[in-house]
Structure formats: C-alpha cells, structure tokens
Structure 1
Amino acid sequence: MELLEKISEYLKKHELKMATAESCTAGLIVSELAGIPGSGQSIDCGLAVYSPKAKNRYLAVSFDTIDTYGLTSEATSREMALGVLNNNDANVAIANTGIAGPKPHDDIPVGTVCFAWAFRHAQEVYIIVETKRFSGDRNEVRLAAAHYALERVPKHHGDVLAGKAPRVDES
C-alpha cells in the first residue's frame, strides 16, 4: 500500500489528473490507485479496452497500427495513451496492452506488456513507451503491470519537467 500512497501523494502534489487506457490490466491501474483515500481528485477516468474495435472507437487507435505492429506493441500502447489523454480532462495518461496469459499469443510470450505514459505540460505533449516482461500467473502479471505503470509516473513526470522526455512531435 505504501507505493500506492506515495503515487497518490505525488499526483496531488503536482496537480496531476490521470486517465488510463488499459488492455491487459483491465482497469486494475485505476482501481489500485482508487483504493487510496483522497486519490479520487487525481483520477479522471479509467477505460478497459480489449478489442481492436474498442481501441479504435474510444481511443482512435488506427487499425493500420494494429495490423502493422499488433495489439501487443509499443505503437499500439502509444496511440492508446495519446487517445485517452486527448479525450479526457487529464494531464497524465497511462496505457498498456499485453499478454497476461495463460498462453502466448502471436509468438509473444506470456507476461509481455507494452506501456505508454503521456503527459500534457506547458502546452506540449510528451510520451514515453516501454516494453517489460513480468513473471507469474495471469493475475500476478496484471497486478505487477498495474503497479509498475503507477510507480513509473514520478520518474517519467520528472523527466518531462527536466526536459528529458520526448515530445510527441519528436518521437
């Protein structure tokens, strides 16, 4: 719980409002954060978007991106993060898509999760993408991915503030 409390305090201190677009975690990122009293002021929304059609409909993820790079790809998570950031009252967005299990899909190993963090700061949008592999059963992968997504927010936000994160037009 200490990690989640620290993240909630960080979001409040920096006046960050979060939106999530979650595929493999299915809303667990926002749900875990919402378990902390007072965190609601830092949450705008959480979307669970599994299917390609839902990713396109709610987040404007291009079917071309999905066809070219796959559902579990940094390109897809990037478009998910930008879609949720642009369609909500948020200045930080987290997106993920991955394979929680029980079986690999399209030769992608179980536990592979592609993340994207998007930030709106000083009238610019910044994006960080990363792929990570977690071990464990389906729900252990989902929980580890949700916590990882949250624990990276302060570091990535700090990179934005320090001018070390790529702007959307640069990446």
Structure 2
Amino acid sequence: MNIPRSVVGFLSSRGLVIATAESCTGGLIASLLADVPGSGACLDVGLVVYSPTGKCGVLNVRSQTIEEHGLTSEAVAREMATGVLALEGCSANIAVSNTGLAGPPPKGTDLPAGTQCFAWRYKRRDGEFMFAETRVFDGDRTTIRRNAALYALSRVEYYFNQLPNVRYARPGSPHSA
C-alpha cells in the first residue's frame, strides 16, 4: 500500500487540505505528499520547526510547555498542530505535527531513542478536534524519520473517521441546533 498516495486520494475525495508542522521528520511528511501527482490540491503548508525558538516563534508553542513536558512530548506536538493551523495564510483544515528523537536521547532525558510524538488537529464547522500519540520506532536515524513520517500520514484518515458524526438538520426541524 502506498500511504502517501492513499492520503492524497482520501483528502482530495473529501475536499480536505492538510498542513504539516515537523521537527524530527524535517519536512519528510510534506515531501512524501508532494511526491504524489495531484497533491497540490490538498497540501497547503509544510513547515520545519526544529529548534525550540522556531517552535515558539513561528508556531506559538509556549516555552512553559517545553519546560514542563520537554521538546519530545505530545503537549508540544499539540501546540505545533494548533500553531500551523492558526498561521495567517494557512487554509488547511487538517494539521499533522511531529517532534521526537531520531538518535540517542540528550543527557538527562529518559526517553528511548526513536521516540516520536504526533498530533493531528481537524478543523470543522462544528469545532476543532485533536488527537495525539507517542510511538517508539527502531532503526537508524533515516529509518526512524521515514517510518515516523509514514506513520503520521497513515493516521490522517484513521483519526478523521474517529471524529463525531454531526448531522446538520434543516432550520426548524426537531433536530436543528
């Protein structure tokens, strides 16, 4: 199964547009999508925000979040996904973000090598919904980054299918809001 092709097909068939905010994967998520013909209809923004200052300055990740949870955390991934969707000029309604360790962890960190934190944020008329996960991938730096990028993409449709089903009734009907 070609995951990027499947994601582009899924997004295109539903008129959805995606943005990425990537740290550890270094733009690989967006690059994998861009390799698929027709991806221009569903890929809006792809950002690489590797450093803490980049995360804070570009995506409005709070320094307090980094201090309390660490750079490799679901909390930071969530704020990255929120930040990319909030950027002026971003027209996406889905964001995927990634932050993690592709190699040995820095001193004082108890996270295993290959730890990757992800977040997926969905913006709809009835609200915004967020999902986050932490996974550990084996392999060398290149393998970890590639597998993390493919994993991030593989969960786009999965989490979309977890969103609440909202029925929009005609005004005045018994089920209208």
TM over 0.5: same fold?
A: yes
Q: What pairs with 1:78-93 in structure 2 (closer than 5 Å)?
A: 78-87=78-87, 88-93=90-95
Partner of 1:40: 40
1:16-52, Cα deviation, whole Å (9 max, x unpaired): 1111000000100000011000011101111000111
The CA distance in 1 between the partners of 2:82 and 2:140, in whole Å, is 29
Partner of 2:138: 135
The CA distance in 2 between the partners of 1:143 and 1:161, in whole Å, is 31
1:151 partnered with 2:154: yes
Compute the TM-score of the two structures, normalised by the length of structure 2. Answer: 0.88
Highest Rg: 1 or 2?
A: 2
Q: What pairs with 1:12-161 in structure 2 (closer than 5 Å)?
A: 12-87=12-87, 88-101=90-103, 103-105=104-106, 106-161=109-164
Structure 2 unpaired stretches of 5+: 167-177
The CA distance in 1 between the partners of 2:10 and 2:164, in whole Å, is 14
RMSD: 1.2
The CA distance in 1 between the partners of 2:5 and 2:32, in whole Å, is 10
The CA distance in 2 between the partners of 1:129 and 1:104, in whole Å, is 21
Q: For residue 139 of structure 1, what is the amino acid of its counterpart?
A: T
By how many angstroms is 1:122 displaced?
1.7
Q: For residue 116 of structure 2, what is the amino acid of its counterpart?
A: V
Partner of 2:9: 9
Describe the SS at the equivalent of 2:152: helix
The CA distance in 2 between the partners of 1:18 and 1:55, in whole Å, is 19
Tell me which stretches of 4 or more aligned residues in structure 1 moved more than 2 Å: none
Structure 1 unpaired stretches of 5+: 164-171
The CA distance in 1 between the partners of 2:37 and 2:47, in whole Å, is 21
The CA distance in 2 between the partners of 1:4 and 1:81, in whole Å, is 19
